[in-house]
Amino acid sequence: MTTKDTTAPLLEIRDLAVHFPTPGGAVRAVNGVSYTLRAGETLGIVGESGSGKSVHVLALLGLLAARGGAGAIVSGSVRFEGQELIGRDEPALRALRGRRIGVVFQDPMSSLNPVLTVGEQIAEALTSHGLGRAAATRRALELLELVGIREPQRRARDYPHQFSGGMRQRVMIAIGIACEPKLLIADEPTTALDVTVQAQVLDLMRDLRKKLGMAMIWITHDMGVVAGIAETVQVMYGGRILERGPVRAVFHDTRNAYTLGLLQSLPGAAGAAHRSRLTSIPGQPPDMTRPPPGDPFAPRNRFATPRCFEEVPPLAQVPDGAPGHLVAAWYDLRAALAAEAAA
Ligand SMILES: Nc1ncnc2c1ncn2[C@@H]1O[C@H](COP(=O)(O)OP(=O)(O)O)[C@@H](O)[C@H]1O
Ligand SMILES: [Mg+2]
């Protein structure tokens, strides 16, 4: 057989847990996250600030030190292309980052070097993985063109401060995809951009994903962005996955009250399908030095049952749901909503 099996898992995370020791106790940032990403698949990860979205990807990339503190992986396994990443040394992880796994973070101003031209920085991403200088310089121009920057010859000689926010984010994307990675991890890459520029960057990513055939993990706190880019959505809260599945299933056959809360707080038509008035989720995310013993969302969930406060619900297939639609909940959201509507 010469055809490649695109359903083979590219990334397999099992029971990943990350803690930060602090004087007030360990911050339990990630608490047993497990999921699989297929080659070419786009996964959107959503959740409010502090849900553990960034920390879990920093952990798998070997970049926890970038968060400060003494964050450490306390358990779990991360296999990328069949190879275990946890426990690999820094040179091995560095070789993987950029070449096989590209990353794009939120703030291009702090990620780009202010004293190097944009062309030099893209070329550097290539030479650091072994491409010769002349070829890297040529390829940098192609990449600028690919991410939609006009007059690449001229713009390559500019410094980051000479670019707008949206254009800087395109430069970051060019660096992220420079080595044509199998997986691109983008952590809130459009959060700082205005809506129009955000839409342009999303268009660009949809286009690049097809051209390069790469898988993507797209992290955002915005359900609307997920709908625009992902095939699979995963909702995180309190360092756990509360719901996961095909975007259509999770949006239209929602089974977790937290997911519903995120959808109801969406502005515009997308949110209107889920609410009668604009709402935001009442209450505060938990103190992760003392996470609730059961379902982390129970204290904010009006549908919580006594069991929700005592025992962590497992993430399991929705029995009458779409294949791959998983939920962690002791309550039956559809029944609870129907009862509420009847009352
Ligand atoms: N250096 C650190 N020391 C202590 N706690 C941290 C540190 N970095 C992150 N955390 C905690 O880890 C949790 C998850 O954070 P994060 O993954 O950044 O959330 P998200 O990306 O979903 O907004 C939060 O409770 C955050 O306060
Ligand atoms: Mg984050």
Q: Report CA(46)–ligand 1 centroid distance (Å).
A: 15
What does DSSP assign to residue 149?
-
What average pLDDT is seen over the chain? 91
Say yes or no: CB of residue 238 within 6 Å of ligand 1.
no
Q: Report CA(54)–ligand 2 centroid distance (Å).
A: 4
Q: Residue 79: pLDDT above 60?
A: yes
Contact 217, 39 (CB under 8 A): no
For the CA of 236, the closest atom of ligand 1 is 22
* Contacting residues for 128 by C-beta, under 8 A, at least 6 apart: 98
Say yes or no: CB of residue 129 within 6 Å of ligand 1.
no
Say yes or no: CB of residue 67 within 6 Å of ligand 1.
yes
147-175 residue pLDDT tens: 999 999 999 999 999 999 889 989 999 99
CA angle 172, 263, 303 (to 5 degrees): 135
Q: Report CA(259)–ligand 1 centroid distance (Å).
A: 20
Determine the pLDDT at residue 272. 67
Q: Taking residues 306-314, report their average pLDDT.
A: 97
Tell me the pTM: 0.92
Say yes or no: CB of residue 78 within 6 Å of ligand 1.
no
18-64 residue pLDDT tens: 999 999 999 999 999 999 999 999 999 999 999 999 999 999 999 99
Residue having the nearest C-alpha atom to atom 2 of ligand 1 = 69
Say yes or no: CB of residue 22 within 6 Å of ligand 1.
yes
What does DSSP assign to residue 315?
-
Say yes or no: CB of residue 213 within 6 Å of ligand 1.
no
Determine the pLDDT at residue 269. 58
Q: Which of 26-40, 196-210, 263-277 has the lowest mean pLDDT?
A: 263-277
For the CA of 47, the closest atom of ligand 1 is 22
Determine the pLDDT at residue 1. 43
* Contacting residues for 24 by C-beta, under 8 A, at least 6 apart: 289
Helix (H) or strand (E) holding 213: none
- Whole-angstrom CA distances from 326 to 34, 46, 53, 329, 335 are 12, 15, 18, 10, 17
DSSP E strand stretches across 141-267: 183-187, 215-220, 232-237, 240-246
Determine the pLDDT at residue 224. 87
Residues carrying CATH 3.40.50.300, the chain = 11-100+179-342
Say yes or no: CB of residue 319 within 6 Å of ligand 1.
no
Confidence of residue 275 (pLDDT cuts 50, 70, 90): low
Q: Taking residues 172-201, report their average pLDDT.
A: 89
Q: Residue 107: pLDDT above 90?
A: no
For the CA of 27, the closest atom of ligand 1 is 5
Q: Residue 277: pLDDT above 80?
A: no
Name which CATH class applies to 11-100+179-342. alpha beta
* Contacting residues for 207 by C-beta, under 8 A, at least 6 apart: none
